[in-house]
Amino acid sequence: MSDISSIGGVDFHCHLDLYPDHQAAIAKAEAGRIYTLTVTTTPKAWPRNYELTQHTRYVRAALGLHPQLVADRSSELCLWDRHLPETRYVGEVGLDAGPRFYKSLEAQKKVFRHILERCAEAGGKILTVHSVRSVPAVLDMIEAHLPRERGSVVLHWFTGSRSDARRAAALGCYFSVNAEMTRTDRGRELIGSLPRDRILTETDGPFTKQQGRAAEPSDAPFAASALGGVLGLSPDAMTKVIVSNLRALLG
């Protein structure tokens, strides 16, 4: 782990391998001292991500099997198993019950259960979890298959209800929040209800925009500033809270 006191920001969920120049995106996050978790969407993408982040100070890669790709890629689960010992970080994984992916929900649940069970067996993994229109089901599965002493969950771009948020917090979950979430009344209200000691920042770049271009890890301070605006904290105070939360998560 890099010296956490030297961190310039936290981007706990982005997709650096989807930028036009993967290597340059990693180098830029490193130069900005942004503690970055770059997720993968399929196990086949893992080896290259692992290779490029093996010796970085601030960028970590996560091993994923995205729920939106399960219909086509569930056969890669054995590959996911093979690579799991190589990393502490798992993502992007979870469930997506949105209209486009609903028909694969049962297959998604099988894959997600498998991932949670393997992480529980291994112990010490940190997962970044997708939960579109499926927060109660995601929380049910975490509760059943990943005891909190066996791993940690960060709910990425959380859009559940306030009662879902309370339940998630009781299960030990963290929440990664991006600037996009601070732009709606509902998002701000939800953020206001999250426990402050469980909040991290993310960009989910390149799927979000900052000043008309794809967001990137160097935009994490914008997310912290927007978050601070919702919670009544200065950007510096908000960043201190986020870094303290990261330290607690990483143990």
Q: Which pTM does this prediction carry? A: 0.97
H/E stretch holding 175:
strand 174-177
Q: Examine the pLDDT at 5 and tell me if it is beyond 80.
A: no
Q: Is 15 annotated among the ligand-binding residues? A: yes
Q: Which residue has the tokens 């959380």?
A: 158
Tens of pLDDT, residue by residue over 192-222, are 999 999 999 999 999 999 999 999 999 999 9
Task: State the CB neighbour count (10 A cutoff) for residue 248.
Answer: 12
Q: Is the pLDDT of residue 1 over 70?
A: no
Q: Is 130 annotated as a binding residue?
A: yes
Sign of the CA dihedral 203, 46, 198, 33? negative
Task: Tell me the pLDDT band of 178, cut-offs 50, 70 and 90.
Answer: very high
Structural domains for the chain: 4-250 (3.20.20.140)
Binding site annotation covers 156? Answer: yes
Residue-wise pLDDT tens digits, 66-113: 999 999 999 999 999 999 999 999 999 999 999 999 999 999 999 999
Q: Any binding-site annotation on 114?
A: no
11 annotated among ligand-binding-site residues: no
The closest of 152, 215, 202 to 37, measured between CA atoms, is: 202
- With contact defined as beta carbons under 8 Å apart, do 176 and 155 qualify? yes
How crowded is residue 164: how many other Cβ atoms within 10 Å of its Cβ? 18
- The two structure tokens encoding residue 130: 């997708």
